[in-house]
Amino acid sequence: MQFRIFGCDREIDASLIDADAETIRDQVREYEDGDRRTFDLEVEYPDDFTGAVMRAMARIPAGETRTYGDLASELETAPIAVGQACGRNPLPVIVPCHRVVGRDSLTGYGGGLELKRRLLEHEGASIPGSE
């Protein structure tokens, strides 16, 4: 399923969300408009490493970030493995991979670094490397 946020098209695997497309799009629109900080959607996480990383990302509150190293420590793995799993996130924005950043910079994002920056600014998060 596709949706548009801040002028960018994003693709998600809606089969992992127990809601219809209209509900998902409505919640994304409410988030973009600033009327919603969290998504009220039941997500079915994959039963693998990517799912474990997705669960960790889902625990990062809006307006905060964690580094790839932070999540790697939590999951007892390597930061590069966390980065690869973030890149496989089938539910970008809804499961907030944009909140995972490098120690000193934003680094990779499937929607592009400008969208990642825009999402973090929208949430009021500190952006590494922009001090």
**129 pLDDT higher than 90:** no
Q: Indicate the pLDDT class of residue 128, thresholds 50, 70 and 90.
A: confident
- Say what the pLDDT of residue 131 is: 57
Report CA dihedral (102, 106, 112, 116) to the nearest 10 degrees: 110
Assigned domain for 130 exists: no
- If you ran DSSP here, which 8-state letter would residue 14 be given? G
CATH code, domain with 50 = 1.10.10.10
Q: Can you say whether the dihedral through the CA atoms of 131, 120, 46, 12 is positive or negative?
A: negative
Mean pLDDT taken over the chain: 95
Assigned domain for 59 exists: yes
Containing 8, the helix (H) or strand (E) segment is strand 8-11
Catalytic, 8? Answer: no
What mean pLDDT is predicted for residues 47-67?
Answer: 97
Assigned domain for 17 exists: yes
Residues spanned by the domain of 104? 2-123
The count of structural domains within the chain is 1
Phi, psi of 79, rounded to the nearest 5 degrees = -55, -35
Q: What are the residues facing 32 on neighbouring strands?
A: none
Residue 101 tokens, joined: 């950043």
Flag whether the pTM goes above 0.85: yes
**130 pLDDT higher than 80:** no
Assigned domain for 128 exists: no
- Say what the pLDDT of residue 11 is: 96
Q: What is the DSSP string of 96-109?
A: -GGGEE-SSS----
- Say what the pLDDT of residue 79 is: 97
- Say what the pLDDT of residue 107 is: 86
Assigned domain for 104 exists: yes
Assigned domain for 71 exists: yes
Q: Which of 95, 97, 100, 120 is catalytic?
A: 97
